[in-house]
Structure 1
Amino acid sequence: MARTRIAGILFDKDGTLLDYAKSWVPINYRIARLAARDDQALADHLLTACGMDPFTGHVTPDSLLAAGSTREIAEGMVAAGASFSPYALTALFDGMFKEAAAAAVPVTDLAPFFAGLKAAGYRLGVASSDNEASIRETARRFGFAGALDFVAGYDSGHGIKPEPGMVLAFCAATGLAPKAVAVVGDNNHDLHMGRAASVGLTVAVLTGTGSPASLAEASDHCLDDITQLPALLARLASDPS
């Protein structure tokens, strides 16, 4: 049976549009210090508990810091010893993450990348475990806000990854069936979200915390980065079987 043509693309943000190591490892150190109230030993413990080696900066694939929502990261740090309420720490992190867009490092020049996909007729969206305000600030800063048909963060009311809600909301906003949608992400929360929504294509990229081995099971294709996506989509469109 022929594959349904992909007409919409739903991107993850961190590790997919933004280089995770360059953009988020420095922020992880900052939020841990804040959560630890500048107690360095506790900050190191909080990072370790949430999936990051405080000495090397390596983040474990699919850990809280790799894939969790802001609320889940805050809850994880509170459970590991941060002396805040989860609600208060989530609010502090949300503010820091929005400000972090100013220091983010994109994988490629995102304005022409999104413009090219838009010109090719794709409906486009971003679904992130970050808050919606941070996503919109990132899109504004890098010049692709006008290309987006849909934006969802963990706080947008569509559920969190790996639940299918963000994908289904993208479909509702664009009028596309899930089988006409590709989900592109750097970790299994993204890919499992796509599979849970029965999308037509799941695409992993290696600019985040995942590896070919960790992403193989849930992805239909694994790319070095998003710049290889247009060629993949063109190839699939020419041979949809």
Structure 2
Amino acid sequence: MQGKPEILGILFDKDGTLLDYDASWEPVNRQLALLAAKGDAELADKLLLACGMDPDTGVVMADSLLAAGNSRQIAQGLVDAGSAFDVHDLTVELDRIFAAAADFSVPVTDLAHLFSTLKQKGLKLGIASSDNERSIRAIVQRFGLTDHVDFIAGYDSGHGCKPEPGMVHGFCAATGLSAAQVAVVGDNNHDLHMGRNAGAGLAIAVLTGTGSRETLTVNSDFCLNNITELHTVLN
């Protein structure tokens, strides 16, 4: 790319970016599949496979439903694969499970320290996730980020869903920044495409989620091991 833009704000994805995906979500994915299967373990494994997770290894396929989908999309995928739930009812149950999961999530680093450091540099900070807003706010409170976060958006916050540009536009409206002044940071291509679709100044990939360097490099300006390396690519 020709010269880095001036970045004045960072919009983070949550799962796989702020939180270690495997450590945080493998047990949650198994829980939701068993619930969707109404306790049928064989069906639960089938549902996991259909939504992108190998039930034997726990590995989640990059850009699959479990990697990048929101509660409604995952619920629809589970029903399409054989769950007997109504999609709406299952969405409500998934939102409940995801909100409760915040208590057990594993951060990739000391998030309060990182966010404080970034704020001291004068950066505006936001979190945009395919999870529900309640879950994001639970994470913000648990890890002491309340005073550092300028914007929060989940799939149910009224800004649309990834990879649509609405969450970036909402961040810009809340902070007074232009999209060209924003770096979008995420672990899958939904995040990166959201940034591109919004005209974000940078699309930065991290390898703490379901994506790999091979799946993420083509759509990112930088591909980092994790968010602690952000200082290496920001002005």
Matched, 1:148 2:149: yes
Cα displacement string for residues 196-219 of structure 1 (whole angstroms, at most 9, x for unaligned residues): 001000000000000000001110
**Alignment identity in percent?**
61
Q: Distance in 2 between matches of 1:85 and 1:141?
A: 32
Equivalent residue, structure 1, for 2:212: 211
Gaps of 5+ in 1: none
Equivalent residue, structure 2, for 1:159: 160
Aligned 1:125-144 pairs, distance under 5 A: 125-144=126-145
Matched, 1:53 2:47: no
* AA aligned opposite 2:190: H
* AA aligned opposite 1:77: L
Q: Distance in 1 between matches of 2:130 and 2:226?
A: 19
Cα displacement string for residues 182-238 of structure 1 (whole angstroms, at most 9, x for unaligned residues): 0000000000000000100000000000000000111000000000002321xxx2x
* AA aligned opposite 2:5: T
Instruction: Give runs of ≥4 in structure 1 deviating > 4 Å.
Output: none
Query: Contact between 1:117 and 1:230, CA under 8 Å: does it hold in 2?
Result: no
* AA aligned opposite 2:189: N
Q: Distance in 2 between matches of 1:99 and 1:168?
A: 29
Aligned 1:59-208 pairs, distance under 5 A: 59-208=60-209
Q: Distance in 2 between matches of 1:57 and 1:2?
A: 40
Equivalent residue, structure 2, for 1:10: 11
Cα displacement string for residues 81-119 of structure 1 (whole angstroms, at most 9, x for unaligned residues): 111111000000101111000000000010111000011
Q: Distance in 2 between matches of 1:128 and 1:145?
A: 16
The count of corresponding residues between Structure 1 and Structure 2 is 234
**Secondary structure, aligned partner of 1:160:** coil
* AA aligned opposite 2:192: L
C-alpha deviation, 1:146, in angstroms = 1.4
Q: CA RMSD in A?
A: 0.8
Q: Distance in 2 between matches of 1:231 and 1:224?
A: 11
Cα displacement string for residues 119-177 of structure 1 (whole angstroms, at most 9, x for unaligned residues): 11000000000000000000100111210000000000100000000001100111100
Query: Normalising by the residue count of structure 2, what TM-score does the alignment of the two structures yield?
Result: 0.98
Equivalent residue, structure 1, for 2:30: 29
**Secondary structure, aligned partner of 1:217:** helix
C-alpha deviation, 1:3, in angstroms = 4.2
C-alpha deviation, 1:4, in angstroms = 3.1
Q: Distance in 2 between matches of 1:113 and 1:148?
A: 12
Query: Contact between 1:16 and 1:185, CA under 8 Å: does it hold in 2?
Result: yes
Q: Distance in 1 between matches of 2:147 and 2:79?
A: 38
Query: Contact between 1:12 and 1:127, CA under 8 Å: does it hold in 2?
Result: yes
Q: Distance in 1 between matches of 2:109 and 2:137?
A: 18
Q: Distance in 1 between matches of 2:37 and 2:136?
A: 26
